[in-house]
Amino acid sequence: MSTKVAVVKQLRGISLAGKSDSNHWVMMDGRKETGGEDAAPSPKELLLIALGGCTSMDVLPILKKKRVHIDGFEVRLKANTRDEHPQVFTDIHIEYVFFGDNIPKADVERAIELSTTKYCSISAMLQGSVNLSRAYTIAPAADMTAPGRPPEIPAENLNGSSSL
How far apart CA 59 and CA 129 sit, in angstroms, is 23
Q: What is the pLDDT of residues 85-116, one digit of tens each?
A: 999 999 999 999 999 999 999 999 999 999 99
Sheet with 162-163, strands from edge to edge, namely: 72-81, 89-99, 131-139, 162-163
The pLDDT score that the predictor gives to residue 153 is: 58
Q: Which helix (H) or strand (E) holds 112?
A: helix 105-114
- For 22, other C-beta atoms within 10 Å of its C-beta total 9
pTM for the complete prediction? 0.86
How far apart CA 72 and CA 152 sit, in angstroms, is 14
Q: How is 13-75 classified by DSSP, letter by letter?
A: TTEEEEEETT--EEEE---GGGT--S-S--HHHHHHHHHHHHHHHHHHHHHHHTT---SEEEE
Q: What is the pLDDT of residues 23-65, one digit of tens each?
A: 999 999 999 999 899 999 999 999 999 999 999 999 999 999 9
CB 43 within 8 A of CB 88: no
